[in-house]
Structure formats: structure tokens, C-alpha cells
Amino acid sequence: MNRIKADLLVIGAGSGGLSVAAGASQMGADVVLLEGHKMGGDCLNYGCVPSKALIMTGKAAHAQRHSAQYGVSDAQGEVDYAAAKDFVSDVIAQIAPVDSQERFEGFGVKVIRAYGQFISDDEVQAGDTVIKARRIVVATGSSPLIPPIPGLDNTPYETNETLFDLRDKPEHLLIIGGGPVGMEMAQAHVRMGCKVTVIEGDKALSKDDPELAGIALQSYKDEGIEIAEGALAEQISGKAGAIEVHVKDGRVFKGTHLLVAVGRSANIGKLDLEKANIETVRNGIKVDASLRTSNRKVYAIGDVAGGLQFTHVAGYHAGVVIRALMFAIPSKAKTSHIPWATYTDPELSQVGLTEAQARKTYGDKLEVVRFQYNHNDRAIAERKTKGLIKVMVVKGRPVGAGIVGYQAGELINLWALALANNMKMSQIAGMVAPYPTIGEINKRAAGAYFSPRLFESDLVKSVVRAVQRFIP
């Protein structure tokens, strides 16, 4: 057995683990990185990157079929499904070198391609190597949650880990799960010429503001996606090309392929956490505000830490623990400024509190300002007028913002900045945005907050009249 020592051991080479390993090594720490599967983790290989590539294929096909509105003849927008998957693979391949073993070894990181398991509170075994480390960061991510639906284990199905390897276009894709992943893949596939049915046990996009989600869901339905809500799957049967999903209320949905997209499960099964006295919770590893586990030598970041499951959160967590590990600076992870987005058409994004959450927290102190996309000149020029921004404001400061519409995932960045820095609405309103841009929507929303204070105020009108009368 080979035994080595390190200042820092990182378990998992996804977004969070790679950020910690690279940062710590370049700042002078002796770092070991373990990865038993693919470098880059879920996001690069099975999640964010391939899904956005496939969404782009659907978007291109959809644009061809709807180009007449711009004075260009509509085309068929036929999709070669296998070629689309080649495009997805090429996108992954272009990004992969950034996350490669060779690159991180160039930073001075010792990379071991094996799964790690704890054998004591500060030792981890990976293959035939035992690593004893002063500090350990667990960044093992998550995997698709497979629900215990009777018959599922005997029926062929896809998850995000297998979908992008599928070469034959589904005739009728059934999707169990109406969250962001399910809806993104539903729209991508309907635009590629598939029939799609989404089967959701509760409400589709239930974690988003219902007013904004409703606009997005109607758009999906208008494109031909069947969305069955309140449809709790209780039995699955069939074979490749002929699959049936029976739901609790008696409905039966038939299709050729099945995608399971009901959530994520933290990757902790191979870690032997009990040997390191690390406590777990229902959705991962128990951590405190500093992302430290019940073992003071061990931190957990990203999906495995049991909180928000986004790649950018893992990157943010990496920065939090780097400050603690490298500089002994007390640092805590917050969630109030974390944005998220669903990359459908229209896009749906949120940061901070939704309207319902803000009303529950602040009551009558809350003001909600809205601005419609159809009042933005650039949106009109590009025929992207379906959408809405709403900002939740308390005492002149935003506490949340939600957007549904074109480039919502980009527009939310400004509000994430505002919440992270406790900015005022006056600062957003004072920004000068280039004309004509979609980004003006943010400034106009901030302006909408001040409009009644300026244009509906008797005091303001009295002052203005006095100035006009008495000041030469």
C-alpha cells in the first residue's frame, strides 16, 4: 500500500473540486485530487454543457420554421438527431481540456483516478494509495435520482447520464419530472421533431414564481408539449419502443422512450463517511454555514453539501472554503444572492425571494414592480416580446427578482450583483444602458419603482409648479 501526505485532499473533480484544487495548489499548498469517473464531473459530461448544446440544436430548428416573421421564408428545420448528438459531443470535447488531468497536474496537483473512501478521520484510501491530509474537501456531486416506481427497474429508460448517447430520435418521449431539466429537454426534443409528454406528480416548475412559470409553461404548450400535472406515476411497464406510464388518477401515457428527471441524489455511497465521523442529512452531508462537516478537518461543497444544486453554487462554495483553508479567514456561504435559470424559450430566472416569499417575510413593507418585455424596443425588433420582469423591493432595496423572457438568464446577473452588494434601486435606475438593448429592461424596471413617486406625488407637483413660477 502506497502512503502519501498532503496539505489538502479534494475528493471529486467536478466544478467545485477543480476550483478548490487549482486555487489551493497555485497558492502553494500540497494538493491531492481524487476522481473515480470523468474529469469535469456531471456538468461537463452529462448536465449543463450537453443540455445547452442540445437546446441550441432545437433553437436552430425552431428558428428555421419561424423565420417568415423576419422576412425570410420558413424552412422545414429537419433535424439529424445523430448529427445533433455529434455536435453535443464536439462541444464537450472542446471544453474538456480545461478540466483535464494534464492541466491540473500542470498546476502541481497530484491527480489520482480512483474513488476515495474514508478509513479514518483524516485518511482516505483511493485504489492502492492512502492519503493522509490536514484538510479534506468532499466535492463528489450528485447523480440522477431514480424513484422507486414499480416496474421502472424492468423498463428501459434514460437519465441525463445516458440521454446524450442516444442516437435514434425518439418518436414519442415521455418525461417523468416537470422541473428545469425535464422542461429543458422537453422543449429541445419537441423542436427536434419528437412528440413529448411531461408527467409531473405536482406542479411543473413548482420552485419558481407561479406567475412567471405560468408564462413559460403556456409557451411550451403552444409548441406542442403535453404537460400532465398532478400525475403521480405509480406503475411503469413496456419495452423499447412501447412504454406505458400509469399514474395514480388512472391516466395512462404511452410513448417510445422514457426520460427520468425527478431530481438529484448526493454521491455519498462510496465514501464510508461513518469511518470519519461525518454526519449526513436526507439530501447529502451535514455542514455548517462555513461548509464544515461534523468532522472539523473535512468540508463539503456543491451538490453533496445538501443545498442548492447548481454548478455556479459549487464554484461559489469553492471560494468560501479556499478563504478558510488557505488564509484561515472565517467565511460563510450565503444563499440569498444565488441566482438560477431554466434555459428554455422563454428563459426563466430568479434571484433572492419570490413574490410569495417576500410577502411572507415583509408583509405590507413589500413593493412589487413590474416591466413587460413588449415595452422594450429591442425585444420588439427581434419579435421577443413575450416576457415580464418583477422586482421585490423593501425600503428602496431589492430583495428578489424574477424574470421570464428572452435572455432572462443573462438579465438576472445584474440583480444578483445588486443583492450581493445590498444595492439600492436608485443605483440601478441611475445606470445608463446602451440603446437599444434587452438589458434596458432592468433599468426600466428600476425606473418603474420611482415613477409613482415622481409622477403621482402631489408634493412633487407642488414643488415643480413653485419652481416654474418663482425661479427665473
What pLDDT digit, counting tens, does each position of 295-320 carry?
Answer: 999 999 999 999 999 999 999 999 99
Residue 41 has pLDDT above 70, yes or no: yes
Q: Is residue 91 part of a domain?
A: no
SS3 per residue for 60-103: HHHHHHCCHHHCCCCCCCCCCHHHHHHHHHHHHHHHHHHHCHHH
- Shared domain check, 270 and 257: no
**396 and 415 share one domain:** yes
**Neighbour count for residue 363 (Cβ, 10 Å):** 9
CATH, residue 413? 3.30.390.30
In a domain, 380, yes or no: yes
Where residue 270 sits, what CATH number does that domain have? 3.50.50.60
Same domain for 253 and 180, yes or no, is yes
Domain end point (choices 230, 262, 294): 262
Do 247 and 359 fall into the same domain?
no
**Structure confidence at residue 463 as a pLDDT band (50, 70, 90):** confident
Q: Tens of pLDDT along 178-218?
A: 999 999 999 999 999 999 999 999 999 999 999 999 999 99
pLDDT at 54: 97
- Determine what percent of the chain is predicted with pLDDT higher than 70: 99
Q: Which domain holds residue 222?
A: 152-262
The answer to whether residues 391 and 398 touch, using CB atoms and an 8 Å cutoff, is yes
**140 and 278 housed in the same domain:** yes
* Cα separation, 92 vs 69, whole angstroms: 33
Q: Which cell numbers in the block locate residue 351?
A: 434571484
Q: Distance (Å, rounded) from C-alpha 326 to C-alpha 29? A: 8
Q: Which helix (H) or strand (E) holds 300?
A: strand 298-300
Strand 226-228 versus strand 195-199 pairing type = parallel
- Residue appearing with cell numbers 406542442: 224
Q: Which among 327, 351, 372 is the end of a domain?
A: 327
Is residue 305 situated within a structural domain? yes
Shared-domain flag, residues 183 and 246: yes
Average pLDDT of the chain?
A: 95
The answer on 357 and 320 residing in a single domain is no
pLDDT digits (tens, 9 = 90+) for 96-127: 999 999 999 999 999 999 999 999 999 999 99
Domain end call among 282, 302, 327: 327
| 307 and 435 part of one domain | no
Q: What is the pLDDT of residue 455?
A: 67
The answer to whether residue 168 is domain-embedded is: yes
Parallel, antiparallel, or unpaired: how do β-strands 129-138 and 298-300 relate?
parallel
The answer to whether residues 157 and 26 belong to one domain is no
What cell was used for 235?
406503475
134 belongs to a structural domain: yes
Domain shared by 6 and 127, yes or no: yes
Query: Which pLDDT does position 314 carry in this prediction?
Result: 96
Alpha carbons 7 and 49: distance in angstroms, whole number: 32
Contact 18, 11 (CB under 8 A): no
Task: With beta carbons less than 8 A apart as the criterion, state whether 175 and 227 touch.
Answer: no
Position 363 pLDDT exceeds 70: yes
Which among 191, 139, 178 has a CA at the least distance from the CA of 10? Answer: 139
Chain segment 227-252, per-residue pLDDT in tens: 999 999 999 999 999 999 999 999 99
d(CA 445, CA 438): 12
Q: Which residues 6+ apart lie within 8 Å of 159 measured at CB?
A: 144, 146, 259, 260, 261
Residue at 73 is within a domain = no
In a domain, 333, yes or no: no
Cα separation, 356 vs 402, in Å, equals 12
Give the confidence band of 454 by pLDDT, cuts at 50, 70, 90.
Answer: low
* Res. 369 pLDDT band, cuts 50 70 90: very high
391 lies in the same domain as 427: yes
In a shared domain, residues 241 and 105: no
Task: Identify each DSSP E strand in 337-379 by its residue range.
Answer: 339-342, 347-352, 366-372
Q: Residues 136-191: pLDDT tens digits?
A: 999 999 999 999 999 999 999 999 999 999 999 999 999 999 999 999 999 999 99
Structural domain total, the chain? 3
Cell numbers placing 191: 423542436
Q: What is the rounded CA–CA span in Å between residue 49 and residue 104?
A: 20
User: DSSP 3-state assignment of 189?
Assistant: helix
**Per-residue confidence (pLDDT) for residue 370, from 0 to 100:** 96
Q: Identify whether 63 is part of a domain.
A: no
256: how many CB neighbours lie within 10 A of its CB?
Answer: 18
CA 385: distance to chain centroid?
A: 24
Question: Does residue 462 or residue 337 have the better pLDDT?
Answer: 337
- Confidence tier at 458 by pLDDT (50, 70, 90): confident
* E strand or H helix that includes residue 123: strand 123-126
